[in-house]
Structure 1
Amino acid sequence: MRHYATRTDNGRNMPIFEKSGLLEEVKKRPTTEFEQPVDSISPVTFFKSHSIEPSQRPLLKATLYRKGSSTIINQLDLGSKSCYLIGGLSEDKKSFLGNNSIIDISVPDGYCSKHHCVIQFRKINDKLTPYLMDLDSVNVTTLNSSPIPTRRYVELSNNDVISFSSKGTNSEFEIIYQEG
């Protein structure tokens, strides 16, 4: 039995067909057109399926730095999810890493698009492999100072540096991917 919003009209309940505003709310929600591949896997799931004890698991993390500085702005553990979305600073202009409901790694930089790139973990040949993919960002994603192609997975290695640039100028911020 369906229930509709109703109002009484001359003693009869009549359905209300006015706009509820719910569709507008759905349109306002941030989305990304990124879809995970079928071989995506979170590191914790991979380690459990291979019976790797927690003390033997590498620590996977992303560290946000201001370029040219050794001071850590923030750090995020990359062990629990299969992918981590990197994007520009959230609307509140205060959150950095992990404080935005869609963006996992927020970068306070004008060169970083809203949904800029993603770190994706995949199970390839029974091995956990991290990748980086640019999500058709307005500005370029660079890996170790080299631009990467859009919508193509590029394998990450320990201490790789992810940054953002636009027409010859570079980001003020860098993300370092680390395994250890």
Structure 2
Amino acid sequence: MDRHSDIYDSTSSSSSSSSSSSSRSRSRSRSKSRSRSTSFPPEPSDKPQKIEPSFEPSGLLAAETNERNGIIIKYTIPPESRMPDKKWRLYMFKSQVDTTSDAGPDKIIHLSNQEYYLIGKEPRVCDLPVYHSSISKQHAVIQFRLRGSEVLPYLIDLGSTNGTFLNGEKIEPSRYYQLLEKDSIKFAYSSREYILLHLDS
């Protein structure tokens, strides 16, 4: 199964018709401005500017919803966020998984009660606290997103200092990576390994 990934962007995109109309308007505006003095500032465009991915809250709604216990949350929930429709679980092992051993996980974390789970070492805001000196206070997020007719789990690194690793490969920050069953997740230099499975596995 191919793994889907895309850039995190909390801004809304405009419709194609608005973009087309705005483009024609700017074209007319540019043709007129050539005959004018350059001492006047250009007329503002009504086309929304492309904004780079940002974890900073924007607007009153974000200010109200992106705060826990007086701490600003770096992550903004995307519009396609949904509750999971499968009983996903993280199986946590304190050290690397030994496939030759019959030993079970040290902990099972259920991922079926929220649309997203914030991971980091700040217990006042994180849903899944991970206590290791190399892990950032708000390190990463597991987000359930609607893709077509399915609700799928994704992993995103929140620009952490020491990175997030998916199946041994460091992922790019500010980008969603689709999680597949039996994926391995590690955070920074912590030896703990998390294996993703669901109840029907």
C-alpha contact 2:74 2:138 (8 A) present in aligned 1: no
1:110 aligns with 2:128: no
Paired amino acid for 1:137? S
Residues 32 and 157 from structure 1, CA distance in 2 versus in 1: closer, same or farther, beyond 3 angstroms? same
Match of 1:123 in 2: 146
Q: Does 1:34 align with 2:53?
A: no
Per-residue CA distance 1:115-141 (angstroms, 9 max, x = gap): 100000001101111100000101110
**Is the Cα contact below 8 Å between 1:164 and 1:171 reproduced in 2?**
yes
Task: Please say if 1:176 is aligned against 2:195.
Answer: yes
Report how far residue 101 of structure 1 moved. 4.5
Gaps of 5+ in 2: 1-66, 98-102
- 1-side partners of 2:138 and 2:195: how far apart? 18
1:30 and 1:64, CA in 2 relative to 1: closer, same or farther beyond 3 A? farther
Q: CA deviation at 1:71?
A: 5.0
- CA deviations on 1:33-74 (whole Å, 9 max, x unpaired) are 20011010011xxx4xxxxxxxxxx42112222123545333
Distance 1:108 1:74 in 2: 15
Q: Which residue of 1 aligns with 2:181?
A: 158
Cα gap change, 1:62 to 1:123, in 2 (>3 Å): same
In 2: Cα distance, 1:85 partner to 1:125 partner: 24
Contact conserved, 1:159 with 1:179, CA < 8 A, in 2? no
Instruction: Please state which structure has a larger fraction of its residues in strand.
Output: 1
1:63 & 1:30 partners in 2: Cα distance? 29
What CA distance in whole angstroms lies between the structure 1 residues aligned with 2:80 and 2:151?
Answer: 10
Q: 2:119 aligns with which of 86, 89, 92?
A: 86
Q: Matches of 2:126 and 2:106 in 1, distance apart?
A: 17
Distance of aligned partners of 1:172 and 1:147 in 2 relative to their CA distance in 1, 3 Å threshold: same
Letter of the structure 1 residue corresponding to residue 141 of structure 2: V
RMSD: 2.2
Q: Cα distance, 1:171 vs. partner?
A: 2.2
Q: Following the alignment from structure 2 to structure 1, what is the Cα–Cα distance between the partners of residues 92 and 130?
A: 8
1:29 alignment partner AA: G
